[in-house]
Amino acid sequence: MEARNITQTEEQVLILDSVAQFLRRDVEPYAHDLEARDEYPREIADKMADLGLFGATISPEYGGLGLSALTFAKITEMVSSVWMSVSGIFSSHLIMAAVVERYGTDEMKQAYLPRFASGELRGGIALTEPDCGTDLQGIRTRAKRDGGDYVITGSKMWITNSVEGQILLVLVKTDMEAVPPHRGMSLLLVDKARGYKAKKLKKVGYRGIDTGELQFDDVRVPAENLVGTEEGRGLQQILNGLELGRINVAARGVGLADVCLRESLAYAQTRQTFGKPICRHQTIQIKLADMATRVEAARLLVERAANAYDSGQRCDLEAGMAKLFATEAAVENSMEAMRIHGAYGYSKEYNIERYYRDAPLLAIGEGTNELQRIIIARQLVERNPV
Ligand SMILES: Cc1cc2nc3c(=O)[nH]c(=O)nc-3n(C[C@H](O)[C@H](O)[C@H](O)COP(=O)(O)OP(=O)(O)OC[C@H]3O[C@@H](n4cnc5c(N)ncnc54)[C@H](O)[C@@H]3O)c2cc1C
């Protein structure tokens, strides 16, 4: 469905138009086959670089487009309604960039941000490990200072853009004994050329895009690759970056929930049973009404969270609510789309089965929805003391 009219600058209208054209011409015709082959959409990624999407939220002084979180969310929604995997190519890359822009030294920003913005260097964030995801303070990847270098040892799991990308922001422990453990956690920028090994994993959905398992065996990086000027700030730095990440995942949820609604609405008007289109049966009407209401409510929550982010407010409550609601909307709408399409929903010929496979990732990534509820409840208590 068409998004509610929000005030947009001329520049935003132009970029949204270019993205719409890119999706129609360069993504939609190829998504189905690339997804089926689990093939990385290299040409699509290169065209995204031409459009400036790798620098969408990076400041113009570093060569980025400097878009607001709100415009970025709209782009993500549009891309995800065509093929969600494509949004993953630039979203974790932009979280990496946001953290470097907010916390990096001037030298680091000058050295990396222009190359992130152009798409010459593409990457993501490496937090999760084989034994821990939600409880990040339990990570075991270690970076030991050795003269002017850090030497990294350990493994990471489920890291997006790690096989095709050239660089990652890696969460490590620089002090294994620190209490509480987050005081011993730091972020390092690590070029792939430094020698970590990455292997692409097989997944139910979110195919095409590379999600990898990484091994660091004494990988050496210069000490200047530490984000910021002191160790022990890494967890806080990445958690702030994840606010943008959660708004982004929520926007993916809106895109997916919306395309499920649109395709179901069209199908329900043409498919006939018992002498009338199925959209005239009350059970189907209830499904369509609930799907549409979820899309609108999710979109409003994303706008609210993005506006809070853009105004510089702390927005973990807003981003958490948007992420929780919009991603559950995507999961529910994909199931309802499959029911409305009957057997055709279960067919590989239609897109519905892809939406149904892609949606559950949104409830897991960027902090599971169980964790979002914990964050929301903690914030409610913190903001409403008695
Ligand atoms: C396709 C894909 C791409 C990904 N990309 C990246 C990436 O680019 N970078 C990256 O770092 N990670 C990435 N991840 C990892 C993702 O962020 C983690 O899977 C996620 O954070 C959950 O961690 P986990 O899988 O280890 O689950 P666990 O932390 O082991 O949790 C298992 C279950 O327990 C629940 N749980 C845990 N703790 C609590 C609690 N305190 N209270 C209630 N319930 C709890 C969880 O919600 C979940 O249901 C990706 C994952 C996938 C599948």
The Å distance, Cα 249 to ligand 1 centre, comes to 14
Q: What percent of the chain has pLDDT over 90?
A: 95
Residue whose CA is closest, atom 18 of ligand 1?
133
The Å distance, Cα 367 to ligand 1 centre, comes to 6
Which is it for the CA torsion 154, 155, 161, 163, positive or negative? positive
Pocket test for ligand 1, best of 137, 246, 368, 373 (most atoms within 8 A of CB): 368
Active site residues: 366
pLDDT band at 12 (very low <50, low <70, confident <90, very high): confident
Q: Which domains does the chain show, CATH number per domain? A: 10-118 (1.10.540.10), 123-232 (2.40.110.10), 236-383 (1.20.140.10)
Ramachandran assignment for 44, one of left (phi > 0), alpha (psi -120 to 50 degrees), beta (any other): alpha
Tens of pLDDT, residue by residue over 321-332, are 999 999 999 999
pLDDT at 2: 46
Length of the chain: 386
Q: What is the mean predicted confidence (pLDDT) over 177-205?
A: 97
How many C-beta atoms lie closer than 10 Å to residue 179's C-beta?
8
Tens of pLDDT, residue by residue over 201-216, are 999 999 999 999 999 9
pLDDT band at 7 (very low <50, low <70, confident <90, very high): low
Residue whose CA is closest, atom 6 of ligand 1?
159
Question: Are 75 and 16 a contacting pair, CB within 8 Å?
Answer: yes
Whole-angstrom CA distances from 375 to 304, 368, 384, 386 are 17, 11, 14, 19
Q: Which ligand 1 atom sits nearest the alpha carbon of residue 361? A: 53
Residue whose CA is closest, atom 26 of ligand 1?
133
Residue whose CA is closest, atom 9 of ligand 1?
159
* Chain mean pLDDT for the chain: 96
Q: Which residues of 58-70 are buried (b: 16+ CB within 10 A; e: fewer)?
A: beeebbbbbbbbb
Helix axis angle for 84-103 and 69-80, nearest 10°, is 160
Residues 6+ apart with CB under 8 A from 370: 134
The Å distance, Cα 129 to ligand 1 centre, comes to 10
pLDDT at 198: 96
pLDDT band at 8 (very low <50, low <70, confident <90, very high): low
Question: What is the biggest distance separating any 2 CA atoms in the chain, rounded to whole angstroms?
Answer: 79
Question: Are 88 and 161 a contacting pair, CB within 8 Å?
Answer: yes
pLDDT at 56: 96
- This prediction's pTM: 0.96
The Å distance, Cα 107 to ligand 1 centre, comes to 33
pLDDT at 329: 98
Q: Show the ligand 1 pocket: residues with CB < 6 angstroms.
A: 92, 124-128, 132-134, 158-160, 203, 206, 211, 361, 364-365, 368, 370-371, 374
